[in-house]
Amino acid sequence: MRSIKLCACVSALALTCMPVNANDSGPKYVFYMIGDGMGTAQRQVAEYYHQEATGDKQARLVMNSMPVVGINTTHSADSLVTDSAASGTALATGVKTDNGMLGMTADGREARSILEGAQAKGMATGLITTTRLTHATPAAFVAKNQSRNNENEIADSYAISGVDFFAGGGYRHFVSGEGSKRKDSKDLIQQFRKQDYKTFVGVNSTSDFRSYQPEQGDRVFAAFTPSHLPYEIDRQHDNSTPSIAEITRKGIDLLSKDKDGFFLMVEGGRIDHASHANDLAGTIMDTIAFDQAVATAMEFYHRHPEDTLIVITGDHETGGMGMGFGKNYFMNLDKVALTRESVEDKLQGVYQGDRPAFYQHIARKFQLNRLEKDEKALIERAMDAVDGKDPEQIAHYGGYDPVSIAIAHITSKRAGVYWTSYAHTATQLPLSAIGQQAEKFAGFKDNTEVAKVFADVMNIRIGVRS
List the domain boundaries for the chain.
Answer: 28-321+423-465, 325-418
Contact partners, residue 355, CB within 8 Å, separation at least 6: 383
At 382, is the secondary structure helix, strand, or coil? Answer: helix
In this model, does residue 125 exceed pLDDT 50? yes
pLDDT band for 328, please (50, 70, 90 cuts): confident
Dihedral in degrees, nearest 10, Cα atoms 89, 92, 95, 99: 10
pLDDT(61) > 80: yes
CA separation for the pair 299, 311 (Å, rounded): 14
pLDDT of residue 24: 65
More confident residue, 21 or 303: 303
Between CA 24 and CA 396 the distance in angstroms is: 54
* Digit-coded pLDDT (tens) for 346-365: 999 999 999 999 999 999 99
For residue 53, how far is the Cα from the chain centroid?
24
b/e string for 391-411 if b means 16 or more Cβ within 10 A? Answer: eeebeebbebbbbbbbbbbbb
Task: For residues 307 and 340, give the distance between their C-alpha atoms in angstroms, rounded to a whole number.
Answer: 41
Tell whether the model's pLDDT for residue 156 goes beyond 50: yes
Over 80: is that where the pLDDT of 419 sits? yes
Q: How many CB atoms lie within 10 A of CB 228?
A: 20
Does the structure show a pLDDT above 80 at 195?
Answer: yes
Share of the chain above pLDDT 70, in %: 95
- 178-182: long-range contacts (C-beta < 8 A, 24 or more apart)? 179/226, 181/151, 181/152, 182/152, 182/155
- Residue 78: pLDDT over 60: yes
Say whether pTM exceeds 0.85.
yes
pLDDT given at position 20: 46
How much is the pLDDT for 4?
Answer: 30
Residue 319 CA to residue 423 CA, distance in Å, equals: 6
* pLDDT at residue 8 tops 80: no
Query: Is the dihedral angle over the CA atoms 167, 49, 297, 433 positive or is it negative?
Result: positive
Judge whether residue 51 has pLDDT over 50.
Answer: yes
What distance in Å separates the CA atoms of residue 159 and residue 156, rounded to the nearest whole number?
5
For the chain, give the mean pLDDT.
93
Angle at 319 between CA 326 and CA 406, to 5 degrees: 65
Assign a CATH topology to domain 28-321+423-465: Alkaline Phosphatase, subunit A (3.40.720)
